[in-house]
Structure 1
Amino acid sequence: MDNQNQNPQDGNINIELNEMVAAGVYANLALVNHSPSEFVVDFIQLMPGVQQAKVRSRIILAPLHAKRVLSALQQNITNYEQQFGEIKEVEPFVLGGNNVQA
C-alpha cells in the first residue's frame, strides 16, 4: 500500500518537513499562556545585554495536544538524562505578567 493513500486511523501519517522548517530556529526562552480553549507558546531569542527580544516562533495548541506535548517532553527528558546525566536547573529568568516562562 502506498503511504500517501494510507488513512491516519491506520496509524500512518506522511509528514512533510521542508528545508526552511527543518533548519529550525534558536530560542532560549519560552512564554506559555492559555485561555479556556488553547495554549499559546512563544519561543523567544533573548540576547545577553539587549533589552529587545524577538519571538522566533509561536505555537498554538488545543489543551489536549498541550498535555500530549508535556508528556512527550517529560519522556524525552527522562531518556536524555538516562543517557547523558541530569540536566541541572538554574534560577529562572522572570518577566512581569502572568505568563509562565521556560
Structure 2
Amino acid sequence: MSDSKQPQQPQINIELDEAIAQGIYSNLAIINHSSSEFVVDFVCIMPGTPKAKVKSRIVLTPQHAKRLLKAMAENINRYEAAHGEIKETEQTQIPLNFGPTGQA
C-alpha cells in the first residue's frame, strides 16, 4: 500500500515588532500600478486640514495584490456574517492631483 499523505508545508515563524503591532490609522488608500507592481499608499486625512501625509506604503506584485483582494473579500464576508452589513458612508472627494503618480 502506498501512503497518500500530503507533504507538509514548512512552518514560517512570523515576528511582530512592538512598534509595528501598534498599527497606523488610515482612512484613505491610494492605489497605483505599473506592469510589474501595485503600490498602495495609506493616508490619514483629518477634517479641516488641507494637507495629508502618506503614513505607509506597501508595494506588491500583481499576484500578491490579487491574493490580497481575495483575502480582504473573504474577511469582509466573514465580518458581515458575524456583525451585519458594513454600510458605506459618503466618500470624500480627492483632487486628481493628490498623491503620487502611477510610475514605477
TM-score normalised by structure 1 residue count: 0.82
Alpha-carbon distance, 1:12 to partner: 1.3
CA separation of 1:11 and 1:94: change in aligned 2, threshold 3 A? farther
Which residue is equivalent to 1:76? 75
- For these two proteins, the number of residue pairs brought into alignment is 91
% identical equivalent positions = 55
Greater fraction of residues in helix: 1
Which residue is equivalent to 1:66? 65
Counterparts of 2:39 and 2:69, CA distance in 1? 13
Which residue is equivalent to 2:91? 92
Note the residue ranges of structure 2 that are not aligned, 5 or more in a row: 1-7, 100-104
Greater fraction of residues in strand: 1
Deviation beyond 3 Å, 4+ runs, structure 1: none
Alpha-carbon distance, 1:91 to partner: 2.9
CA separation of 1:94 and 1:10: change in aligned 2, threshold 3 A? same
Residue 10, structure 1, aligned to residue 14, structure 2: no
Alpha-carbon distance, 1:92 to partner: 2.1
Higher-Rg member (1/2):
2
CA RMSD across the alignment: 1.8
Moved more, 10-19 or 80-89: 10-19
Counterparts of 1:74 and 1:98, CA distance in 2? 27
Note the residue ranges of structure 1 that are not aligned, 5 or more in a row: 1-8
Amino acid corresponding to residue 20 of structure 2 in structure 1 = V
